[in-house]
């Protein structure tokens, strides 16, 4: 009887250990770029809302934090999965080392989605990176499995429950994604557009012509909106840029103490001096637009870097287009 009781007790403890390991490991950082690790814990799923003035961890700045979740994802059936994230502000999602979502910028409770092909029973490495840079924070990660796919129109998104997420070791090696993995589809004009990844800013900035106080990177948010675009070789903004800047102006009005620096960039092709002049003119165009939207000029600073800070050095038209951009620093 004693031996039987010990066996039952061991099975209970063993099963409890397995259940406790379901979910994802969450690493919670102070700062928007994983600056200082504050807490590590297991989260059963990614489904969070942090209201204005609240943060995931007591004592953490509610306007500047980032989280990285890692673990394994098991596919309940084979086929095409659609992953959806509702975020405020930025998210990146990898499955099997393939980036499925990339919206690393300031967003006000916006939805993003991407598709990938998974095989039944296999477990894939999963990583989610998230940051909040202003006011409230929000992140909800959902999926639509092949079995749950809507029959007629729309989507049938559901939470990713902890039974499909794990931290426990598995016998099989990491499973790469099928070669049929799909990249996130292009969003229509009336949908949010995912921003390109933003390189970590240098802590030492070149001295601009005008005075510029030193930046505390633990409390600053820097992002490069993909949809603020200009005519080629000109400082004229395309009309598609206006919605992004209107949202930015609205946010700045809600936070009258916040200041904004606009940094202009070009590709590295052509005359260096002309590129520097063009980058400054583009940044000034953004400043003029925000002033017309009611933002005081005393809150706005601009500068140009020409082609000295490229995101990509690949010599293709697509990569050159990535380098022609503006970036925002909110203080």
pLDDT for res 175: 47
22-166 and 221-330 agree in CATH topology: no
- Read off the tokens for 164: 């499909």
Beta bridge pairs of residue 39: 28
* CATH, domain range 221-330: 3.30.1330.60
Residue 143: which of 73, 192, 195 has the closest Cα? 73
Residue 30: which of 71, 58, 69, 53 has the closest Cα? 58
Higher-confidence residue of 13 and 39: namely 39
pLDDT for res 191: 42
Beta-carbon contacts of residue 293 (< 8 Å; ≥ 6 apart):
245, 246, 249
Strands 165-166 and 98-103: unpaired
**In the predicted model, what is the mean pLDDT of the chain?**
77
Q: Which of 82-91, 95-104, 204-213 has the weakest average pLDDT?
A: 204-213
Could you state, in order of their start, the residue ranges of all structural domains in the chain? 22-166, 221-330
Query: Which residue reads 């990176």 in tokens?
Result: 129
Q: In sequence order, what DSSP letters do the residues of 66-89 get, joined into one string? A: EEEEEEEEE-SSSEEEEEEEEEES
Q: What is d(CA 137, CA 108) in angstroms, rounded to the nearest whole number?
A: 9
Q: What is d(CA 265, CA 248) in angstroms, rounded to the nearest whole number?
A: 19
Residue 305: which of 327, 330, 329 has the closest Cα? 327
Beta-carbon contacts of residue 116 (< 8 Å; ≥ 6 apart):
80, 81, 83, 95, 96, 98, 100, 177, 181, 182
Residue 227: which of 85, 110, 132 has the closest Cα? 110
Higher-confidence residue of 4 and 121: namely 121
State the first-to-last Cα distance of the chain, in angstroms, to the nearest integer. Answer: 69
Q: In sequence order, what DSSP letters do the residues of 16-32 get, joined into one string? A: HHHHHTBSEEEEEEETT
Q: What is d(CA 317, CA 305) in angstroms, rounded to the nearest whole number?
A: 20
Question: Number of C-alpha atoms within 13 angstroms, CB side, residue 328?
Answer: 27
pLDDT level of residue 214 (50, 70, 90 thresholds) = very low
Q: What is d(CA 104, CA 93) in angstroms, rounded to the nearest whole number?
A: 10
Model-level pTM?
0.50
Q: Which of 142-146, 169-173, 296-300, 301-305 has the weakest average pLDDT?
A: 169-173
The alpha-helical segments, DSSP class H, found in 182-271 are 242-254
User: In CATH, which of 2.40.50.100, 2.60.120.1560, 3.90.930.12, 3.40.50.2300 is domain 22-166?
Assistant: 2.60.120.1560
- Read off the tokens for 28: 């919670």
């Amino acid at each position: 009887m004693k031996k039987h009781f010990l066996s039952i007790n061991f099975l209970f403890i063993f099963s409890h250990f397995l259940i406790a390991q379901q979910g994802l490991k969450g690493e919670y950082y102070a700062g928007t770029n994983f600056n200082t690790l504050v807490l590590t814990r297991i989260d059963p799923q990614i489904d969070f809302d942090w209201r204005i003035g609240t943060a995931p961890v007591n004592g953490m700045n509610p306007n500047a934090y980032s989280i990285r979740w890692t673990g394994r994802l098991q596919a309940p059936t084979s086929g095409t999965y659609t992953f959806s994230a509702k975020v405020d502000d930025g998210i990146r999602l990898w499955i099997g080392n393939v980036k499925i979502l990339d919206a690393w910028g300031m967003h006000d409770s916006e939805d993003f989605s991407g598709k990938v092909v998974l095989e039944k029973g296999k477990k894939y490495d999963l990583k989610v990176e998230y940051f909040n840079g202003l006011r409230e924070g929000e992140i909800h990660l959902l999926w639509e499995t092949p079995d749950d796919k809507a029959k007629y129109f729309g989507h049938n998104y559901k939470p990713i429950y902890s039974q499909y997420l794990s931290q426990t070791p598995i016998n099989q090696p990491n499973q790469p994604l099928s070669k049929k993995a799909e990249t996130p589809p292009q969003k229509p004009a009336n949908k949010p557009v995912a921003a390109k990844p933003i390189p970590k800013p240098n802590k030492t900035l070149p001295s601009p012509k005008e005075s510029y106080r030193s930046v505390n990177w633990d409390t600053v948010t820097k992002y490069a909106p993909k949809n603020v675009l200009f005519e080629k070789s000109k400082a004229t903004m395309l009309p598609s840029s206006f919605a992004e800047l209107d949202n930015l102006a609205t946010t700045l009005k809600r936070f009258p103490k916040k200041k904004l620096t606009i940094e202009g960039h070009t590709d590295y092709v052509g005359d260096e001096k002309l590129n520097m002049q063009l980058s400054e003119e583009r940044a000034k165009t953004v400043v003029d637009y925000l002033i017309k939207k009611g933002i005081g000029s005393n809150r706005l600073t601009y500068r140009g870097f020409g082609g000295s800070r490229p995101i990509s050095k690949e010599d293709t038209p697509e990569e050159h287009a990535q380098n022609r951009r503006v970036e925002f620093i909110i203080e």
